[in-house]
Amino acid sequence: MNGHRLATAAVVLGLLGSLTTSAWADPDPHHDHRAAPAHRPTRVASAPGATTALSGYTIQSTAKVSAPASDVSSSGYPATGWYSAGPRSTVLAALLANGVYADPFYSTNQQKIPRADFEVPWWYRSDFTVADTSERTYLDFSGVISAADVYVNGKQVATTTDVTGAYTDHELDVTSLVRSGANTVAFRIQPNDPNKNLTMGWIDWLQPPPDENMGIVRDVLVRRGGPVALRDAHVVTKLDVPSLASADLTVKAQARNDSGTPATTTVSGSIGTTTFEKNVTLAAHETKTVTFTPSDVSGLHLAAPKVWWPAGMGGQPLYDLKLSASVSGSVSDTAHQTFGIRDVQAPLNSDGARQYRINGRKLLIKGGGWSPDEFLRWDRSYVEDRLKYALDLGLNTIRLEGHLEPDEFFDLADRYGILTLPGWECCDKWEGQVNGSETGDKWTAADYPVAKASMAAEAARLRDHPSVISFLIGSDFAPDATIEKNYLDALKAADWPTPVVAAASDNSSPQLGSSGMKMTGPYDWIPPNYWYAKREGGATGFNSETSAGPDIPTFDTLRRMMTPAELDTLWKNPDAKQYHRSPSSTFGTLKLYDDALNGRYGAPTSLADYVRKAQLAQYENVRAQFEAYERNATDSSKPSTGVVYWMFNSGWTSLHWQLMDRYLDQGGAYFGAKKANEPLHVQYSYDDRSVAVVNNRHSAASGLTARATLFNPDGTQKYDKTVTGVKVSGDGAHSTALTLPASVTGLSTTYLARLTLTDASGKEVSRNVYWLSTKPDTLDWANTDWYYTPTTSYADLKGLSAMAQVPVSATASTDSSGGTATTTVTVRNTGSGKTPSLLTDVHLVDAQGKPVLPVQWSDNEVGLWPGETATLTATYRTADLHGSVPRVRVSGWNTPEQTVPAG
């Protein structure tokens, strides 16, 4: 995130009057906003090595609690009038679940929530039961925002000095306080300020939550064990590259004697069929690192290891490490860790750009910036749905700038083969020491150990996940020498296995040197031809965050998030402040975007016209962004090595930075990305008019036929060329099939280009339709700002408005099996003239006409010439129909809307 944004940020936190609720303002379907169930005591398992997550809390503002902490944290305290909260919950998330406030994703409802309610500490109280006290008991947790005093059964066990920072990990031995039967733990959570605390903030992504996410957002675990504890279990892998023929595994763990007398423990373990064992003698309260290496255990040298690959490059096999520590023949503790075997390298190329290699093979990082739910509500299915969308889009990487998700997120990334780039965030306390006068307080002496402890905790948590391919210890700015050393010391101590990157921007740190990345924008509208220039944010090097800014959602979603009056303003007034864009004054309006939309496509005549033009514009721009980076990935000079779309998704109902919207609906941005990233792809180049074939598969392709045809908007053909015998190497290589002429007789100012690619059998494997102009967009490079490059004249695409309406017929049928439904749709241009149907969109809807989401389409928003058909499939959960019969709604740029049954 470019730090300059925050210098102009203007966050509006005033209260508004009453608002009219739209019929479309239904709550987020992935979260239950009804009153949370009353918290019941958590039954803690007694087996040595067992970990039990607290099942939830009751919470209340300290302003409403007069009892002393000793009473609040004792069993039997009458928490009358307190609110129920889940096991991972911010204060505001709990209040929303209890129905205290209206849907904050609708209109400006969030502004009505009084910020003052969250400027005092809040109590989190939870009861748990222990069957016996023969085992030791520990509280193990992280994810406290921003700090907490901790009490167990009326006694304080930690202070806010001890428990501070969202990422620091804490283990409290509470054995002496825990009794058989009922027990109570209470956290007095301090308010959060991302500029003052090493926690989490929202920068300019969305309107920040009034509580600033104060609360507990990860599980609090109750651990049981005997006298010797096992901690920090992990596996260091070394894969032979490039042969991949063998791998060496080194198993490490800490054995800790928590008793007051010496102990001898037997640490035994297994990975698959390989077993190992070692006796360790420990003095009272002594900790030793226990290590098993291939020289100790021959089975830890693997021949023909099962290698983990990113999706599309191979499989995602995982291994399991199981450990136990026994004392006097009885199990004292156990540990389990899942890991993958893969090799990650990311050297700088000759141009100074970071080039990732996985298992010895280069790959272009194609990613998106991740946002969690604004209120940090964890929903596994919702996260899984978005990761599946990433694969559907042909992306291979997710970047997490701060907001480092719970363990399950990385488990899912491992399973699906999605690479992740976690790192610290910009524009708040995390970079306050090094970002000059920008937002974020300077560090005090107390901050350095918190930051180092945060790094150590996250390194230990993430190191065994094969999906994690780096850690970015800086975002907009690189750390100074002291901070960098603390981070690197923590990473080294944790046996961090992958490259560490100094910053997401073009900055350097003393030990690591150059980041090899750039953060040159853009973040707001620029034309599609921008991406082909090998300068600024164009397709060269590794661009860690970039897009053309606004991504207007579908009409369906807009009606769910804005009032009729707000929707009226949306299309009529480009200068209007848009609450659902950003708190930053730089991104407060849609003026740059709207000016371009009007200048290129013509002024909108209605909200519907505005939305359809937006989808067309977003399709062409997102497609061009990914296509440019893909075409340039194997260039000999200044190749592109990585691009992260800013952003993949939004944490709330947004008008910018998202490839899909909050409700997982898909529009032009989504399908433009999906088209650009298809495995074997034919594309037009805005810089030199070449038609290139890009092969994202590993194996080469040959015997291909590429065809390019140019049409006036009325469908009159003006140019046609076919090239046979096209071949292209694999792993992202491209070849140029032909180049379109600079001028074509009779071609109108606005025209259409249809590209097709067929294989040796004549089967069409890629189709791509462009809307272009003989008058190009002209960029004012000399006046480039940090967030965009001005456009001095626009391409003339107004001719599209004159396209005749074209009828498209549709037939659909649905099959269901095992909870999954597949709807097959055949669309056909039945027009009698020459005019094609442009951006023909098919939406799966229920009986009320609402979109069925999430859904994965084989293709969508297609162009059809008269007589042409396309067969599309939609896959989704049968349960998401909620008992309704599926229907298919067909519309398009110049296609009348119709809905047909799909049962």
Active site residues: 476, 545
For residues 187 and 789, give the distance between their C-alpha atoms in angstroms, rounded to a whole number: 49
51: tokens are 């970990």
Report the alpha-carbon angle 265-269-270, nearest 5: 170
Does an H or E element contain 848, and which? none
Q: Is 77 exposed, middle or buried (0-12, 13-18, 19+ CB in 10 A)?
A: buried
* Of 703, 690, 708, the residue nearest 758 (C-alpha): 703
Q: Where are the beta strands (DSSP E) in 86-227?
A: 89-90, 122-130, 136-141, 144-145, 147-152, 155-164, 170-173, 181-189, 215-216, 220-225
Mode of pairing for the β-strands spanning 778-779 and 791-793: antiparallel
* Of 706, 528, 740, the residue nearest 629 (C-alpha): 528
For residues 315 and 761, give the distance between their C-alpha atoms in angstroms, rounded to a whole number: 29
For residues 732 and 734, give the distance between their C-alpha atoms in angstroms, rounded to a whole number: 7
The residue type of 416 is Y
Q: Is 874 exposed, middle or buried (0-12, 13-18, 19+ CB in 10 A)?
A: buried
* Of 763, 772, 713, the residue nearest 740 (C-alpha): 772
Number of H helices, E strands in the chain: 12, 51
Q: Is 321 exposed, middle or buried (0-12, 13-18, 19+ CB in 10 A)?
A: buried
Residue found by looking up tokens 């209260």 in the block: 15
406: tokens are 């719970």
274: tokens are 């390989």
Contact of 396 with 311, CB cutoff 8 Å: yes
Count of C-beta atoms within a 10 Å radius of residue 809:
13
For residues 780 and 791, give the distance between their C-alpha atoms in angstroms, rounded to a whole number: 6
For residues 886 and 901, give the distance between their C-alpha atoms in angstroms, rounded to a whole number: 7
793: tokens are 């004249």
DSSP 333-354: EEEEEEE-B--EE--B-TTS-B
For residues 702 and 684, give the distance between their C-alpha atoms in angstroms, rounded to a whole number: 19
DSSP 528-594: GGGGGSSSTTSSSEEEEEE--SB----HHHHHHHS-HHHHHHHHH-TTS--TTT-SBSTTSS-HHHH
DSSP 8-state class, residue 9: B
For residues 272 and 729, give the distance between their C-alpha atoms in angstroms, rounded to a whole number: 38
Question: How would you classify residue 173: left for phi > 0, otherwise alpha for psi between -120 and 50, otherwise beta?
Answer: beta
* Of 583, 576, 618, the residue nearest 597 (C-alpha): 618
- 471-484 burial: b if 16+ Cβ within 10 Å, else e: bbbbbbbbbeeebb
Distances (CA, A) of 235 to 232, 253, 325: 10, 9, 17
Contact of 458 with 452, CB cutoff 8 Å: no
3-class DSSP assignment, residue 721: strand
Question: On the CB side of 333, how many CA atoms lie within 13 Å of its CA?
Answer: 24
The residue type of 475 is S
Contact of 471 with 491, CB cutoff 8 Å: yes
